[in-house]
Structure formats: C-alpha cells, structure tokens
A and B are shown apart, each in its own frame.
Chain A
Amino acid sequence: MRRLTYRFGGLVAEFFISWCHFIPWFAYALAAIIQGTILVTFVAVMALIFIWMERKISGRIQDRLGPTRVGGKFGWLQTLADGLKLLTKEDLMPEGADGLLFRVAPYVSFTASFVSFFALPFAFDWVGLRMNVAVFFVIAVLGLEVFGVILAGYSSASKWSLFGAMREAAQVVSYEVPLGMCIVVPVLIAGSMDLVTISEMQGGLFTNWFVLHDPFTFITFWVYFTCATASVNRAPFDLAEAESELVAGFHTEYSGLRWSFFFMAEYGSMYAVSGLATILFFGGWNGPLPITQWLGIDPHAAGHIQDALTHSGVLTHWQEFQVFVANLIGLLNFVFKCSVGVAVMMWVRWTLPRLRIDQVMQTCLKYCTPIAAVMFLGAVIWKYEFPGGLVLPPSTPLGHVREGWLTPEALAERAREAAAIESSLPDVATQGGQFPFAPKTPKKGTVPGDDFAGDK
C-alpha cells in the first residue's frame, strides 16, 4: 500500500477502508470525527489530572496533604467526585442576564482553548493539522479565549463579573505584545512557523534545544513563560478572579457544567501554552537524549524508512511498527514536558502573591516588552554572526530546513545540486527536500532567509 503520510487520521481512514470496507468518504469523515474526539478527550482528561495535581501541589506547598479519601491513598478520583458534584448542580442564570450570551460564553472559551490543540504536534506525524503557520494559528486562536470571558462577564449582569472580565481583557490584550515578541525569536532561529519543522530542527541531544541555542533565547524563554502565565490568567496574574476583591471574577454567576467548561478552558490553555513552550524552546517531542536515533527508529533519521517512503512508498510491518514506537516515545516526551510546564505554573501560583493591576501592567510594559525586544534584537545579531550556535555546539547538527519559497520541483533541483557537491548525501536528491534525515552542518545557505540569496 502506498502511503504518503503516517498522519494519525490517514491511518485510521485507511484502516476503515481496507479492514471494514467502508465507503471512502464515510471512512474519512469517521476518521476526522475520531481524531477530533480523541483531542477533546485528551483535553478533558488532562484537565481532570491537572485539577487533581493542583490540589495535591497546593496542599503540599501549604503543608497539607491535599485530597486523600476519594479513590485510594492519593485521592486519585477527587476530580471525578468534583465532576459529579458539578454535574448535579443546578444550572443557574441571574435574572437580569442576557440569556443567549450567558449560555454561549463557556463554549466560546472552551472552543478557543481546544482548537489550538489541532495544530500542536504531539509527535513527528501525530498532529491534527499540519500548517506552515502553526505558531501564528495557535497564538491567534488562544487569544480568542478571552472573548468568552468577556461575554461571560458582560452577560452576567453582575458588577463582579464585569470588573473581572475587563481586567482580564486589558491584561490579555497587553500581554499579547511581549508574548508575540518572545515567540518570534525561536521562529527566527528555525526559519519556519511550522511547529513540526521547528521541533524537528531540535532533534539530537538536548543541547540542540532552542532554549540553549544562545543566551538571548535562554532569557526569552523566561519572559515567554511569564507572559504565557499572564495570558492564561494564572496566578500571580489572576486578578481577574481575585477572590478577595471580585468574589470569583467573570465566572461569579456560573455554576455546574458551564462553570466547569471555563475551568477546562483554563487548563486547556495552560497546557497549550506549555506545549508551545515545549515546541519552541524545549525540542518538542525530542527527548534530551536521541534514543530513537540510537535505536535507528527515528521516523526522520532512519534512512531505510525514508527510502521506502519516498521511493516505493511501501513499508514492512516491522518498519511501520518502528515508526509507531518512535512516535509513541515522542508523544510521551511531549506530554511529560508539557506537564512539567503546567506543574511549574502551579508551583508559581501557590508560591507568589497576586499582583495589583498597576503592577501587572508595569511588568508587561516596563519589563517584559523591552526585555523581549532586546532579546529579539540580540537573537537576530547572534543568528547572523553564529548561525550554528556558540555556547554549546550541537552534538548533531540541526536538520535541514524543509521550508523554502521554491516550488517542489525547484527544491528537488536544488537538492540534486547539493547532492552533486556533497557526495555523502546521495539520497537527498530524490526526496525533493521533503524528508531530510542526513545530518549536515548548518551554515549560511541552509537557513531559509538565505534561500533567495543562495539560489540563482
């Protein structure tokens, strides 16, 4: 069977066609629905786990035990009990509220938070929607979450809600500026906005991760983390729901399932910004040690798999299994790193006191934005002067940049020329620049900004 992708949805659809003999259009629709369902389930289950984690972490930090009763020693099922409680709560709406907007607002928030997961690559081929502007897409979609919050605050007909919503709006809109500047830095180094490409370029030892690329990216990461914490409205930037002043902020009037949608949205976006940090700064699905490469099963490093993919398109079952295992390891890496990011956010939440609104704005405009701007400038200069990195030379060179402005034919031609020069890379020519696996020392000319100059 000829396969061009190992994308999860494609595999599921093929399974339905070849094993269940479904009609293709039905099989593809079914595969799309399954993929969406898996993502929704992932977000919901992650929220369950993180809420439990939050309880435990906050408990430990405050010298308590946290939940211990429900579901055994560690209170594993505490969130489930919470969920049951929320399900059975009455779905209240204030009398003066705007019914339509009040009901719709939680779904708006949750949708925005959930859609960003479409573009997050969980492993090499396990991404809902591979886009060449995925970074941009994730940021654009995550920025919409605040819309649900504002709708909730406005339609609740409550002063607490309105104040909370306004605070959150001002905060999120302000923090998008330094956040965008921080995100530009890894994009600049990778030369691509494709999250898959960005992760791929950080393969190999952990010294390839962009956070260790140069001092500027290292500082950028911390600025990013601060801004991301603020943009998902977590403590110490959670004054939109400051209990001592605003009862519960924008979700004061909500109860039951609708309230829990806001909560899922919050945990979903926490995970999404951690995922973005993981991909942009911490190598995405690549572990600290390139275990899959050493085992020879790395989906883009194993030459024979790539040969099979590009020449005949036929893989043996053993090779397919290898690709699957490599993707699974990648998935575990990614989920672990994201969870660490979320755990750090919780740690920060239960350690630092809440900022005042003027302190929040000061942090954003007086500190984060200028620092991000300087780091951006520094990263540009560094990228120009030392394109391969200097502090810790990469153990394995950065991968080829797959993105260029050239047509596929022109890319193939360019690759053929490169292969003629570097006889050590005979296979690249036939691949049209699609699956570069052979290591190559990064130099000027492999970065996409130089494409124009490098080509005749």
Chain B
Amino acid sequence: MILRETNSVDPINWHSVFFLLFSLVACAFALAVVFTGHIVRMAFYLVLSLGATAGLFFLAGADFVGSMQLLIYVGGTLVLLVFGVMLTAQGPFVTMKTTGGEWILSAFVGGSLLAVLLPTAFKIADWQNATVRVAGASDDEPAVARKLPEGEPTATRIGMGLLGARVDQLDDNNRAPRGSLAGYLLPFEIVSVHLLVVLIGAAYLARTKRRTRPRDTTGAELGLEN
C-alpha cells in the first residue's frame, strides 16, 4: 500500500523479482526431485519446491491458498515420507533405481500434462498482457500483489464461492451477490464424506490384522506396542 503511494517510479519491481526467485526455486527443486535417487532427499526437495509454490501463492495475494499449500501439500508430503517411506524401508538410506522404461513412461505422462497445461495457460487473454485490472488499481498499472486493501479477506470469498455467491464478480452496477449460482457445497460434502469412508476403511483394515493378538495392554489395543 504505502509502497505504491510514495514511489510511483520504481526501478525495481519487487513483485517480479520475487516471482522469478520463487519460480526458480520451485523449478530447480522439482528437477532435483526427478534426478535424485535418494528417497528422503527427494522428499526434502519436494518440500522445498512445494514451499516455493506456496510463496508464489502468497505473492499473488492468495494467503489462504498459500497457507493451504503449506498445510496440506508440504505437511502431507511429510506424513507420506514418514509413514509411507521410512516405515517400509528395509535398510537405511533407500535409493531408487529408475529404469529406462520408467523414464520413458514418466516423460510421456508428464509431457502430456504439460502439453495440456501450456496451451490452456496461454489461452487466457488476461494473462498475456502485462497490465491486468485488479480491484483498486488504475487501468494501466502492471499487476502487483497486495493491490487489494489490507485485511481484504480471501478465505471468505472462497467460502462464499463454495456457497454459490461469487463476491469476486460484484460490479458497480449490481452490488447484490449473485446468489443464483449453484455453488460447490454439495460436491464438497460428498468428497468429504467419501474421505471419511476411506479413513474408516483404512482404520478397519489396519485393526483386523491385530485382532488375533491377545489384548493385554492398552498399547496393544492401540496398535502402538512397537
């Protein structure tokens, strides 16, 4: 806010600088994940890459999505690492040998995803010119993060969008939120119930293996005697 107030001629666009920095980190460590054989190092690079992506979200002013990225993806990778890799490892410092066929297959899958994403990204007209109209900015200013007033809620918008009221589409002529849209609440609920079912199923599968053992201590009951 104050940054834009005082210096209209800014020789360094900090937004661009940090965008380049974060995207460089994200890409570099994504490549590092691909070219490392060591599983835990891979996970570490993945965390750095995902963290840099979260930084990009923060830079874009999407605090909520950025925090989500940190909590779910970065934290999720952690859980994956701990309970997926380390517990199943046979020896210390597991390394993965990638065969030629796997390289070709993964290059094909990744390449096709890229081939879908790139045209989609370039098709959006607003992203092609450098001047983007942001709420609260004048027309010809380059897009800079934090153009929204301080404390402008991002989570609330997402929540209202889930309910079907698109507050981001309010315009000057029509202040009323567009409440007639369907929203995503029902799909969201279905997905969450589905996840719950999966969790219960996982817990059931994990418990049935332990059934045959005698239940003597509370630790054994919880499956934590190891």
- Could you list which residues of chain A lie within 8 angstroms of chain B, going by C-beta atoms? 2-5, 7, 10, 13-14, 17, 23-25, 28-29, 96, 98, 100-101, 104, 130-133, 136-137, 139-141, 143-144, 146-147, 150-151, 154-155, 157, 162, 166, 169-170, 173, 192-194, 196-197, 356-358, 361-362, 402-410, 413, 434, 448, 452, 456
Q: Is the CB of A10 within 8 A of B82?
A: no
- Tell me how many residues of B have a C-beta within 8 Å of chain A: 57
Given contacts A4-B5, A137-B70, A151-B44, contact A358 B153 (CB under 8 A): no
CB distance from B59 to the nearest CB of A (A): 12
Give the CA-CA distance A404 to B149 in the complex, in Å: 12
- Report if A3-B155 is in contact (Cβ < 8 Å); known contacts: A151-B40, A361-B222: no
Tell me the smallest distance from the CB of B220 to a CB of chain A, in Å.
9
Q: Give the Cβ gap from A6 to chain B, nearest Cβ, in Å.
A: 10
Complex Cα gap A104–B47 (Å): 13
Does the CB pair A358–B224 fall under 8 Å?
yes
15 contacts between A and B (CB under 8 A): A5-B1, A25-B12, A28-B3, A98-B38, A104-B44, A133-B64, A136-B68, A141-B70, A144-B75, A147-B78, A192-B153, A358-B217, A361-B222, A405-B153, A448-B156
Distance (whole angstroms) from the CB of A446 to the closest CB of chain B? 15
- Tell me whether chain B's interface is mostly helix, strand or loop, or mixed: helix
**How long is the Cα–Cα vector from A193 to B63 in the complex, in angstroms?**
11
Q: A409: which B residues are within 8 A, CB to CB?
A: 172
Q: Which residues of A contact B151 (CB under 8 A)?
A: 130, 132, 194, 196-197, 402-403, 434
Q: Residue B150 at the A interface, CB < 8 A?
A: yes
Shortest A3–chain B CB gap in Å is: 7
Tell whether A139 pairs with B71 under 8 Å between CB atoms, given A24-B7, A357-B224, A456-B176.
Answer: yes
Known pairs A140-B74, A405-B153, A456-B176 / 6 extra A-B pairs, C-beta < 8 Å: A2-B5, A96-B92, A130-B150, A132-B154, A140-B68, A144-B75
Q: Mark B2-43, 1 if CB is under 8 A from A, else 0.
A: 110111001110100000000000000000000000101100
Chain B residues within 8 Å of A, Cβ to Cβ: 1-3, 5-7, 10-12, 14, 38, 40-41, 44, 47, 63-64, 66-68, 70-71, 74-75, 78-79, 81-82, 86, 92-93, 135-136, 149-157, 159-160, 165, 167, 170, 172, 175-177, 217-219, 222, 224-225
Q: Do B156 and A140 touch (CB < 8 A)?
A: no
Are the C-beta atoms of A357 and B219 separated by less than 8 Å?
yes
Distance of A456 Cα from B174 Cα, bound (Å): 11
User: Contacts A141-B70, A144-B75, A362-B218 hold; do A28 and B82 have CB atoms under 8 A apart?
Assistant: no
Q: Which of A17, A131, A150, A403 contacts B82 (CB 8 A)?
A: A150
CA distance in complex: A197, B177 (Å)? 25
- A193-B155, A358-B218 known; A98 and B40 CB under 8 Å? yes
A143 pairs with B217, CB closer than 8 A: no
Whether A144 contacts B70 in the complex (CB less than 8 A), given A150-B81, A403-B153, comes out as yes
B78 near A150 (CB under 8 angstroms)?
A: yes
State in angstroms the CA–CA spacing of A47 and B78 once bound together: 27
With a CB–CB cut-off of 8 A, which chain A residues contact B152? 132, 408
B7 close to A25 (CB less than 8 A): yes
Give the complex CA separation of A116 and B186 in angstroms. Answer: 34
Q: A4-B1, A404-B156, A408-B149 are in contact. Are A136 and B14 (CB under 8 A)?
A: no
CB of A17 within 8 A of CB of B222, answer no
A411's closest neighbor in chain B, by CB? B149
Nearest chain A CB to B4's CB is how many angstroms away?
10
Closest 5 CB pairs of A and B: A24-B7, A140-B71, A358-B219, A140-B70, A405-B156
Using Cβ atoms and an 8 Å threshold, which residues of chain B touch A406? 167, 170
Also in contact, A101 and B7, with CB within 8 A (given A166-B82, A357-B224): no
B6 touches A169 (CB 8 A): no
Q: How many whole Å from B46's CB to the nearest CB in chain A?
A: 11
Q: How far is the CB of B215 from chain A (nearest CB, A)?
A: 13
Chain B residues closer than 8 Å to A104, beta-carbon distance: 44
By the criterion CB–CB under 8 Å, are A98 and B93 in contact? Answer: yes
Task: Give the chain B neighbours of A456 by CB distance below 8 A.
Answer: 176
Question: Are A154 and B86 in contact, with the CB atoms below 8 A?
Answer: yes
When chains A and B are docked, how far (Å) is the Cα of A173 from the Cα of B152?
31
Of A100, A132, A157, A356, which contacts B153 at CB under 8 A?
A: A132
Task: Indicate if the CB atoms of A24 and B10 lie closer than 8 Å.
Answer: yes
Alpha-carbon distance A407/B160, docked complex (angstroms):
13
Please, which residues of chain B bring their CB within 8 A of the CB of A139? Answer: 71
